Structure formats: C-alpha cells, structure tokens
C-alpha cells in the first residue's frame, strides 16, 4: 500500500475535527453576540429612558409668549409659562429668559413689506461652569416668568424696521430638569444637557406678533 493511501484516514480525521471545531466556535460566537444584544436592550431602568418615559411631553408644556409693551424704543415682554403638572427648572442660557436672547439670535424680525427676516449679528458667549443659581429658574405648575427685551442698536438696526415689523422668538431648550433647582446636584449641573435626568433638545417658538416702531 502506498504512503498516500496510508495517510488518507489520518487526513480525513483532521478534516472532520477541523470542521466540527469551526462549527462549534461559530455557534458559540453567534450565541454570545445575541445574548449581549438582548442584555443591552433589556437593561433595567436606564435613567435616561426613565426620564423620557415619565416626562415625555414636559418640554412641549412650556409655553412662550411675547407682546409689545413700548414703541420707543420698541420693547417686548417675553414670558415662559409652565403648563406641565410638575415643577420644571429651566437653565436660562439660550432660552427666552436669557438676557442675551437678542444677541444670541433668538428673535426673528421681518420689517413690514420685506420677504425675509433681518440678518442680525449673532454673538457667541463662553459660559462659566457650573451655572450660577440665578441662571436657574424653577416654575411650579401654572407659574410664569418673563423679561423685557429692548430692540436697540447695535443688536437690532432699528432704522431698518420702518414703521412695523413681524417678530417671534424661537430656539431650543438647552437644559430643563423635571424638579426644583434646590434638588439639582453639582454633578447634574456640570453635565447639563448630557446628564441622565435632564430634558433637552425640544424646540420653543412663540406666535408671530406685529410690532410698532415709534
């Protein structure tokens, strides 16, 4: 019997063993991956999901209104009302309650007869972390807070407004918490919109009003 014939059974055994090992390894790897994915989907009580589930409509319950209170200089009263059934704490940065709302580009101003809003200069601010207590506003259910915004140079080219202009305020909530300010931890204030308990990203927009320029 030739050497090749004597080695055939040995080679066949190696091939069978290799095939079985490969199948076993493939089944083990496949099962491990499926198990990991399932565990990830069913991880209990993720903080972010819990907040989203418990307060899914909270940001939409923050109503933003504006009205004119003076014509010379043109002055707007901006108000935020909590129509939610729980207290909400708002970070005023880049919100309707930010004193720099005009400089941040939150106002849309379209002079009468114009087909598009004015291209207002926008200022970028570097904020000091963490936010100070006066940067946080807690609104109980039904409570409102507001501020006055004065349209004046250099933020607003008043001379380009003519006699009237259509104005509204629009933006996104940076950070809102479904609790009162005194219950926020230093860690939550450091993380802001990246924290587990925060609500953020929802948009706000007021109705359009016609403003008279005196």
Q: How many residues does the chain have?
A: 214
Question: Measured between alpha carbons, how far is 97 from 139 in angstroms, rounded to an integer?
Answer: 12
Q: Label residues 135-150 b or e (16+ Cβ within 10 Å = b).
A: bbbbbeeeeebbeebe
Residues 6 or more apart whose CB falls under 8 angstroms from that of 31 comprise: none
Band (pLDDT 50/70/90 cuts) for residue 2 is: very low
Determine the pLDDT at residue 107: 98
Full-prediction pTM beyond 0.85?
Answer: no
Q: Label residues 164-191 b or e (16+ Cβ within 10 Å = b).
A: ebebbbebebbbbbbeebeebeeebbee
At 13-68, the pLDDT tens digits run 454 445 444 444 444 333 333 333 222 222 233 333 334 457 889 999 999 999 99
Question: Measured between alpha carbons, how far is 170 from 168 in angstroms, rounded to an integer?
Answer: 7
At 90-141, the pLDDT tens digits run 999 999 999 999 999 999 999 999 999 999 999 998 999 999 999 999 999 9
* 139 close to 80: Cβ distance less than 8 angstroms: yes
- What does the domain layout of the chain look like in residue ranges? 1-43, 50-212
- Fold for domain 50-212? Immunoglobulin-like (2.60.40)
């Amino acid at each position: 019997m030739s050497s090749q014939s004597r080695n055939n059974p040995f080679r066949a055994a190696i091939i069978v063993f290799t095939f079985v090992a490969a199948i076993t390894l493939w089944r083990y790897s496949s099962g491990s991956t499926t198990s990991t994915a399932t565990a990830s989907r069913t991880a209990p009580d993720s903080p972010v999901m819990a907040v989203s589930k418990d307060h899914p409509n909270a940001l939409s319950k923050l109503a933003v209104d504006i009205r004119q209170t003076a014509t010379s200089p043109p002055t707007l009263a901006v108000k935020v009302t909590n129509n939610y059934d729980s207290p909400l704490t708002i970070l005023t940065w880049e919100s309707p309650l930010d004193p720099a709302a005009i400089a941040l580009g939150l106002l849309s101003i379209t002079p009468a007869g114009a087909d598009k809003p004015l291209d207002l200069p926008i200022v970028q601010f570097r904020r000091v972390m963490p936010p100070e207590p006066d940067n946080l506003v807690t609104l109980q259910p039904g409570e409102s807070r507001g501020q006055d915004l004065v349209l004046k140079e250099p933020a607003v080219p008043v001379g380009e407004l003519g006699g009237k202009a259509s104005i509204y305020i629009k933006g996104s909530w940076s950070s809102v918490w479904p609790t009162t300010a005194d219950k926020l931890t230093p860690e939550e204030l450091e993380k802001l919109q990246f924290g587990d308990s925060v609500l953020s990203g929802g948009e706000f927009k007021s109705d359009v009003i016609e403003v008279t320029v005196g």
